[in-house]
Structure 1
Amino acid sequence: MAGAQLPAGWTLEQIRDVSGDREAEVFSTDRAVTWLGRSGKDERLYPQIILRFHELCLVKPANGEDWYMGSLNEDGSVDCWSAYGSLYEALRGL
């Protein structure tokens, strides 16, 4: 899958264990991702990693350390609405 990679130091099994989602998967980064920024306007994120949990996704942008939670749209894009300082925290927030 183009652009699909695991976070450094994590296995897919660990991600599934922490999230509680046995079907969690690494997802292609070849898609539009937006974040409703502090300005109240959508900001484009350039994903380095996307993890999919059914209709929810966790996105790590290429230019940052935070993880963004969002929903997967029918067209394959992702709209994010919250941010977490660590992957573990984001996985527990699902």
Structure 2
Amino acid sequence: MQLGTVIGNVWATRKEDNLTGLKFLIVQPELPKGSAIKEPFVAVDRIGAGVGDKVMVTNGSAAANMDRSISLPIDALIIGIIDSVDVEGGD
């Protein structure tokens, strides 16, 4: 899993049939204290996240198999909206 902030939306009127009805958001990966790492990526959202929300994202097969009846062609899935993060020590 990784942490990140939703920085945008993606609209696609034409897509794979199995992706119909899913919402796509752009996520900026971050360290626990909030500094950006890596490049932003697109993640599927089924829990109602929006721009500015801090989120938890799972990647790979865990995302692709969110629906046990079919493997979807996705790489990232938002699995939580973060209320707070507490990190001890360090800078």
TM-score (norm 1): 0.31
Choose 1 or 2 for highest CA Rg.
2
Larger relative contact order (C-alpha < 8 A, sep ≥ 6)? 2
More helix by share: 1
